[in-house]
Chain A
Amino acid sequence: MKRTTDEHGRTRKLLIKGGRVVDPASGRDGVMDVLVDGGVIARVGRDLPADGADVFEAQRDWIVAPGLIDIHVHLREPGQEHKETIATGLAAAVAGGFTAVACMPNTDPVNDHPGITELMLRRAADANLARVYPIGAVSLGSRGEQLAELGAQKAAGCVAFTDDGRPVATALLMRRALEYAGMLGVPIIDHCEDPSLKGDGVAHEGYRAAAMGLRGIPGVAESIMVERDIALAELTGGAFHVAHMSARQSLRAVRDAKTRGEARVTCEVAPHHFVLTDESLETPLRYDTNVKMNPPLREEADRDAMLEGLADGTVDVIATDHAPHHLDEKLVEFDRAPFGIVGLETAVPLVFDRLVHAGRISVTRMIELLSVNPARVLNLPGGSLKDGAPADVTVLAPDAKVTIRAAALRSKSKNTPFDGWTLRGGVAATIVGGSVVYRNE
């Protein structure tokens, strides 16, 4: 992708013409033009003159939305570059319509130090594709023993803290983290999972795993810790965000907490948890390690609860939990394979096909879940097309026929259970800071 800059290296003016602008933050919804100048939104209105700007012609049925933001991504760099690098991860992000991603700290070494945050930001600047917002570790090495220097990490660019991959180990550490991060004005994201209930489980505890002889992880392993963290958020006033929520009991806990209104609680759901169930353990392939993720694919009642929460507003964010793994790592016995699937390049088609076209949510709600709310939860710039906002824009083609091909993914890893799926709805173009960084030709 080439940046549209003039001979002085300044970003040229860009006019996105003729699409349906959907900008929940300003309440705009209609066929309009968007003028970008100097990397920010200059004007949104009908029939704007090009006036020397480059023109991006959008089809009338395309949707021009504030840039999509994925707040749960594993970019694997530093330390696991055989799975993904920041450059390949960001190429996948923009191809998937994301103008910004927040990346998890479970790299090698763990991102518990400003030096690592700075490295990530430097690599992201070199890649010059989507924006990167590092999420720092709550504790040193994510070992759950000693609080990391959250203040220094925030100053270096971290937007939130988590020990993702594992839960914040103890109630006391979570309490302190919420208090301390609250002071800094950033949220704690928790991978909620009681380690003793999870045990060495590899799949959702239910009939399917039992029949296939796979060790189970019950839904309450997640919800017990969601409830713990809600109680601590109520105690401390800190902001708590539930990562990759999957169990119906967790959704109920979040809904109740929001009704009480005494805690700052938000939550995210990954596409695979509202599309698939544990039936995928058996069909179309038995023991396919590309359906092994943590939290696991749960049963129908859980999947339906996620769909309900997405529609009724309990769920704030759709985040992919993009977790690339090398083919060699996945081509092993089910219980030896690592957890996780790639998600950046499959999210938009799945959301369109399974949520919007299925009549479960509106396009406006889709943009809230993928752009407005992610920006709000992590206090990021973006999520809006207001004048002066960063010119991060995603152009969506709601009726495009998309066939997912694992081999064609831009991510370095191809571990997706959606290979061969044909879905309705895709990405037309991704614009970051006024530059078209991806175009689906």
Chain B
Amino acid sequence: MLRSRHLLGIADLNADEIRQVLETADAMKEIAARPIKKVPTLRGRTVVNLFFEPSTRTRTSFEVAEKRLSADTLSIAVATSSVTKGESLLDTVRNLEAMAPDMIVMRHASSGAPHLLARLCRSVIINAGDGMHEHPTQALLDAFTIREHKKRLDGLKVAIVGDLLHSRVLRSNVQLLNKMGAHVWACGPATLMPADLARFGVRPTTSIDEAIDGADVVMMLRIQHERMHGHFIPSTREYFTLFGLTAERLRRAKDDVIIMHPGPMNRGVEIDSDVADGPYSVILEQVTNGVAVRMAVLYLLAGQEGGTD
């Protein structure tokens, strides 16, 4: 069981709880191999997927996870523009709560939005990504995938490369990997590094070669094309020249390196197609594992209902 009744971020989990999620996910992954991929665990429970930002992968992954656990699910994609017109986040959620859901899975463009709900609403809140803050289920599925290949997290060198400043994937992964004893190198252009990055518990560098050197895991982050507007990068072409992952650069990594990407990828911007589709890539496994990890999270949080707060 987890100590918190919500999953707002990796910040609220300790190493034992992370291990528990990963071990539960092992069992859940096995369900996907059965001819009938469904268990009755969450029968009669209602889960609302409330997405204020466009998302295909994460929303679908949660939906599949919920259905495999027999929950009643509904997904609501709210265009941010319609929210601007009138209803506040709190009113939207309180209206949904009037229909008595058990859990709300939310993605929102504002950092801290799920924390607001957790403070003021009744439902169990699962953070499916809040602004530039956290994306805890992504970090958990990344850890699950690394563990499948490396059998451990402790002592691994993990290089995270890309737009560090705007990345919730970075923030959740760094916390999780630090809690599990991995060594994280964070690499990106100086314009896309958060303030005081070293205090995150990473080795900051602007050299991708240094970051990749001897790495067990290379995790590439998405570069958004709009980033050229805030004077962050001059062009995607220059970005690829300086920070793109190519087969040649990858030679510096360990022989059994794995390449990860949370998606969606920009081929030719942060990663060369040869690498994305190459033998070291585990990018599609991440997607597969996402379902198992989300099933584990739903199961562990559902199990707590009626328990202590």
Contacts and interface: CB of A to CB of B under 8 A. Distances in A.
Contact of A336 (B110, B194, B230): B110
A216 interface: yes
B199 A207 contact: yes
Interface stretch (B97-105, B112-120, B151-159, B289-297): B112-120
B194 A333 contact: no
Contacts of A285: 119
A285 B116 CA distance: 10
B88 A199 contact: no
A interface majority secondary structure? loop
A354 to B, nearest CB: 26
Nearest to B130: A213
A248 B115 CA distance: 31
A334 B132 CA distance: 12
B171 to A, nearest CB: 6
B230 A331 contact: no
Given A332-B88, A332-B90, A334-B111, A213 B196 contact: no
Interface in A201-238: 205-207, 209-216
A287 B195 contact: no
A286 to B, nearest CB: 5
Nearest to A289: B116
B88 A213 contact: no
Contacts, number: 66
Contacts of B171: 211, 213
B18 interface: no
Contacts of A399: none
A209 B132 CA distance: 10
For chain B, give the interface size range. Answer: 20 to 34
Contact of B110 (A206, A209, A331, A334): A334
A206 B133 CA distance: 14
B113 A333 contact: yes
Nearest to B52: A333
A210 B111 contact: no
Contact of A286 (B88, B112, B197, B199): B112
A328 B130 CA distance: 21
A335 B111 contact: yes
A207 B168 contact: no
Contact of B195 (A209, A328, A333, A335): A209
Given A213-B171, A287-B111, A333 B116 contact: yes
A286 B132 contact: no
A336 B171 CA distance: 22
Contacts of A333: 89, 108, 110, 112-113, 116
Interface string A20-40: 000000000000000000000
B63 interface: no
Interface in A325-342: 328, 331-336
Nearest to B167: A213
B195 A213 contact: no
Contacts of A215: 132
B108 A213 contact: no
Given A206-B195, A287-B112, A287-B116, A331 B200 contact: no
B131 A335 contact: yes
B58 to A, nearest CB: 17
A328 to B, nearest CB: 7
B2 to A, nearest CB: 18
A212 B111 contact: yes
Nearest to A210: B194
> Which of A212, A333, A335 is most buried by chain B, counting CB atoms within 10 A of its CB?
A333
Interface in A116-140: none
Contact of A207 (B89, B130, B133, B195): B195
B134 interface: yes
B309 to A, nearest CB: 17
Interface string B226-252: 000010000000000000000000000
Interface in B73-97: 88-90
A286 B168 CA distance: 17
Nearest to B117: A333
A331 B90 contact: yes
Contacts of A332: 88-90, 116
Interface string B115-138: 110011000000000111110000
A335 B111 CA distance: 8
B88 A328 contact: yes
Nearest to B88: A332
Given A333-B89, A335-B131, A206 B119 contact: no
B166 to A, nearest CB: 9
Contacts of B116: 287, 331-334
8 closest pairs, A vs B, by CB? Answer: A287-B112, A213-B133, A213-B132, A333-B110, A210-B194, A213-B111, A207-B196, A210-B195
Interface of A: 199, 205-207, 209-216, 285-287, 328, 331-336
29 contacts: A199-B230, A205-B195, A206-B196, A207-B199, A210-B196, A210-B197, A210-B200, A211-B171, A212-B133, A213-B134, A213-B171, A214-B111, A214-B112, A286-B112, A286-B115, A287-B112, A287-B115, A287-B116, A331-B88, A331-B116, A332-B89, A333-B110, A333-B112, A333-B113, A333-B116, A334-B110, A334-B111, A335-B111, A335-B131
Given A286-B112, A331-B88, 12 more contacts: A206-B195, A210-B195, A211-B194, A213-B134, A216-B195, A286-B115, A287-B112, A287-B115, A333-B110, A333-B116, A334-B112, A335-B131
